[in-house]
Amino acid sequence: MKFTGSQKYITTQDLMLAVNAAISLQRPLLIKGEPGTGKTMLAEQVAASLGKPLLQWHIKSTTKAQQGLYEYDAVSRLRDSQLGDEKVNDIRNYIHQGTLWQAFNADKQVVLLIDEIDKADIEFPNDLLRELDRMEFYCYETRETIRAKHRPIIFITSNNEKELPDAFLRRCFFHYIRFPDHDTMQQIVDVHFPGLKKALLKEALQVFFDIREMPGLKKKPSTSELLDWIKLLVAEDIPVDALKSGDANKLIPPLYGALIKNEQDVHLFERLIFLSKRRG
Amino acid sequence: MLIDFFLSLKESGLPVSVKEYLNLCEAMQKGLAYGSVDDFYYLCRTCLIKDEANYDRFDRAFAHYFKGVENLDAALTKLFEKDIPDEWLKMLSEKTLSDEEKAQIEAMGGWDKLMETLRQRLEEQKGRHQGGNKWIGTAGTSPFGAYGFNPEGIRVGQDKSRNKSAVKVWDQREYRDYDSQVELGIRNVQMALRRLRKFARSGAEEELDLDHTIKATASNAGHLDIKMVPERHNRVKVLLFLDVGGSMDEYIHRCEELFSAAKTEFKHLEYFYFHNFFYESVWRNNRLRHTEKFSTWDVLNKYGKDYKLIIVGDATMSPYEILQPGGSVEHWNEEAGSVWLQRLLATYKNAAWINPSQEAHWQWTQSVTITRQLMGDRMYPMTVEGLDRAMKALL
């Protein structure tokens, strides 16, 4: 069982190795990287290419670790007891399985994505140590231990908003998705827009990397923004010439709003364009 | 077999643990990196390093330990082919240089001269180190190190279209930009934001209102009637005073970031601007500072003593501006600035002064010393560690 990228997802050698190490050693893989470099996509693509079901657990600032295991709905049980419902005799009726339980309980191995773990409370990762390490947890209400039938392949993504505790990190493999270089980027675009004209792609990538190189940008455009932008260029049928920066009057690339999303960055961008125009 | 390697990683200050080392051994046993040094390098990194800030240090340690495993390549000669973008160097240095250092640069003949020298230096290096794997100016022997543009911190002239297979991956040191010890400004403020958040989060909990539930159930003839209390929000109230203009100009970027961080963190945030020191009025909109003034008395009366006072300013001015009536540089003040600060401190027991200038320089400025005395030593530098202390003092 080996992951070698897929038709919709280009992987670099280091990412592939990290994924395969995580799969064969059955440890969670923690993925960090600039926003829009395909962290969440990775789990989807691995699941698709290995032919395994994907379970997703999206973390919010209010998410508690317990919610991933199970939740005991004491309030409805109390209500049911007052109404004399038969259901009340079995506590199992009031235990709602969380994503981790489902993943542990699945009959075949699944891919589990814990998305944006850094959004949760600082203590959140610490509450999942044993669950991720031993792949088991204890359900107090039913007095049973839930053990993974097949250790799921776990991907955890983080945007670096909070630092994760050391004990947690030690249990994971780690990979930082770097921003793709020019060649990789070309492959990525090829995969998404197979029929794209070579000339347009070349110019678009040039403009894109030029913008990324600009000093002082608050939010650099990322892969997903490039793809959006190209989609727009294709939809609007912008001619290749419009992108060529040789013409001093058309230095601002068309539809640049798809690439630059911060108001201050737009100002900075326009100012730099103005400066370079004057120089030229 | 790799114990020495593991120990050398540990020695270079990387936070690696035995468990991670065993993981690596297990992965090796499974044949995940067989017959390729590159694969081995990636595998080591995946197993042992858990923070991209440590990637660069790992690259160096790896290169050091495995030097000579592969033949050195001549591909690095391409490294300095590209010109260094002036804008970039300029921006970087403006951010990092202090006033004295800027003066020194002027003494050397200004920016252009310096850039010229730097470029010459690069040229020389290109010749001398052809085929080697060393970058320019590491240890601060070059004048550029001393001025804070240690070219280590930036990718000087890295040729993007470099032939990939020819260069050892770890020697490219592509992650140097992520090393937290190199990057100063932005990361610091991000960390600061984190501290503020930690501080802001305390006490956020969701609860069942038990007393109320029991009462409601009883009056409901025994039928359950759940009562909840709304989630407790962060109740920290912050009164923020920001020094603007004059000597504060060079810290604007950092103050902005601190301010926007604070603004998203605290629901109850009131902010005002002042210039150099406190007098009878402050303002809220810097553009309308002369027309739209708020009396400091009003501020004192309006915001209760449960507000926490945070003052951001470099406290660098003439001592008269603090101690003398009429000492303000802008107008005639009836009462001395120190009187106003003492009034503020009398109302707000929890107070901290955050000073963006370097802590080591404080003792050389008389006004900073005076301000510190007035604040009862509660002055903290605008660094991660300083903000941490400030937040602790405010709690």
* Contact yes or no for B27 and A82 at CB 8 A: no
What does each C-alpha distance from A72 to A66, A92, A139, A142 come to in angstroms?
10, 9, 10, 10
Kindly list the residues of chain A whose beta carbon comes within 8 Å of any beta carbon in chain B. 13-14, 17-18, 20-22, 24-25, 27, 30, 32, 75, 78-79, 82, 121-122, 161-163, 166, 169-170, 172-176, 178, 181-183, 213, 215-216
- Look at B42 and A75 and tell me if their CB atoms are within 8 Å: no
- Determine contact, residues A72/A95, Cβ cutoff 8 Å: yes
Give B-chain residues touching A37 at CB under 8 angstroms.
none
Q: Give pLDDT, residue B365.
A: 85
Q: For residue B275, what is the DSSP state?
A: B
Question: Which one is predicted more confidently, B67 or B40?
Answer: B40
B50:A169 CB<8 A:
yes
The residues near A224 (Cβ < 8 Å, ≥ 6 apart) are: A36, A37, A38
The residue of B18, B50, B225 whose CB has the most chain A CBs within 10 angstroms, and thus the best one to mutate to test that interface, is B50
A215 and B91 within 8 Å at the Cβ level: the answer is yes
Task: Locate A263 and state its tokens.
Answer: 């108001």
> Can you tell me whether residue B200 is helix, strand or coil?
helix
Query: To the nearest whole number, what is the mean pLDDT of chain A?
Result: 84
Residue pair B357/B248 in contact (Cβ under 8 Å)? The answer is no
- Test A162 with B174 for CB contact under 8 angstroms: no
Taking the CA of residue B309 and the nearest CA in chain A, the distance in Å comes to 26
- Residue A142 to chain B, least CA–CA distance (Å): 23
Kindly determine whether residue A174 and residue B19, on different chains, have CB atoms separated by under 8 Å. no
Say what the pLDDT of residue B54 is: 82
**Which residue in B has a C-alpha nearest to residue A215's C-alpha?**
B88
Q: Does B290 lie at the interface with A, CB-CB under 8 angstroms?
A: no
Looking at beta carbons, which residues of chain B come within 8 Å of A217?
A: none
Name the one residue in this structure whose structure tokens are 């000093």: A215
Query: What percent of chain B is predicted at pLDDT more than 70?
Result: 58
Could you report the per-residue pLDDT of B290-323, keeping only the tens digit for each?
677 888 888 888 888 888 888 988 888 888 888 8
Between the alpha carbon of residue A39 and those of residues A15, A31, A32, A36, B60, the distances in Å are 11, 6, 7, 7, 27
pLDDT attached to residue A154 = 94
Closest approach of B106 to chain A, Cα-based (Å): 24
- The residue-averaged pLDDT of B16-31 equals 86
Amino acid in the structure at residue A141: E
pLDDT in tens, B353-395: 988 888 888 888 888 999 998 888 899 888 767 777 887 778 7
A78 interaction partners in chain B (CB closer than 8 Å)? 224
Instruction: Pick B42's closest partner by Cβ from A13, A32, A161.
Output: A13
Give me the long-range contacts of A208-214 (CB less than 8 A, separation at least 24): A208/A259, A209/A182, A209/A185, A210/A245, A211/A253, A211/A256, A211/A259, A211/A260, A211/A269, A212/A179, A213/B85, A214/A268, A214/A269, A214/A272
A25 to chain B, minimum CA–CA distance in Å? Answer: 7
Query: What is the share, in percent, of chain A residues with pLDDT greater than 70?
Result: 94
Compute the nearest-CA separation of B204 from chain A (Å): 10
> Nearest-CA distance from A29 to chain B in Å?
9
Stretch B212-227: mean pLDDT: 82
Residue by residue, pLDDT tens for chain A (280 residues) are 778 877 788 888 888 889 999 998 889 999 988 888 888 889 999 999 999 999 999 998 888 889 999 999 888 888 888 888 888 888 889 999 999 999 999 999 999 999 999 888 777 888 898 888 888 999 998 899 999 999 999 999 998 777 788 888 888 999 988 888 888 888 888 888 887 777 788 888 888 888 888 777 777 888 888 888 888 888 877 777 777 655 545 556 777 778 887 777 777 777 777 776 665 5
Mean pLDDT over all residues of chain B?
70
Q: How far apart, in whole angstroms, are the C-alpha atoms of residue B84 and residue B73?
A: 23
Residue pair A257/A219 in contact by the 8 Å Cβ criterion: no
Please report the beta strands in B209-326, taking only residues with DSSP state E, as ranges in sequence order: 228-229, 237-243, 268-274, 281-283, 293-295, 308-312
Q: Give the Cα separation of B186 and B391 in Å (integer).
A: 19
Q: Is B329 on the interface with A (CB under 8 A)?
A: no
Q: Do B32 and A21 touch (CB under 8 A)?
A: yes
Residues from chain B that touch A25, judged by Cβ atoms under 8 A, are 23, 26-27, 30
> pLDDT grade, residue B94 (50/70/90)?
low
Instruction: Write out pLDDT tens, residues A95-144.
Output: 999 999 999 999 999 999 999 998 887 778 888 988 888 889 999 988 99
List the 217-256 stretch of B: residues with Cβ below 8 A of A: 222-224, 226
* Cβ contact, residue pair A21, B27, below 8 Å: yes
Chain A positions touching B224 (Cβ under 8 A) are 75, 78-79, 82
Give A42's Cβ-side CA count (13 Å radius).
30
Which positions in chain A touch B27 (Cβ < 8 Å)? 21, 24-25
> How far apart, in whole angstroms, are the C-alpha atoms of residue A112 and residue A44?
9
Hey, are the CB atoms on A17 and B91 less than 8 Å from each other? no
- Determine, for residues A170 and B88 on separate chains, whether the beta-carbon distance falls below 8 Å: no
pLDDT tens digits, residue range B140-157? 333 343 333 333 333 343
Give the burial string for B9-31 (b: 16+ CB within 10 Å, else e): beebebebbeebbebbeebbeee
Contact B46 A174 (CB under 8 A): yes
In the predicted model, is pLDDT for residue B162 greater than 60?
A: no
Taking CB atoms and an 8 Å limit, are A21 and B226 in contact across chains? no
Sheet holding A173-177, edge to edge: A54-58, A111-115, A153-158, A29-33, A173-177
How many Å lie between the alpha carbon of B88 and the closest alpha carbon of chain A? 6
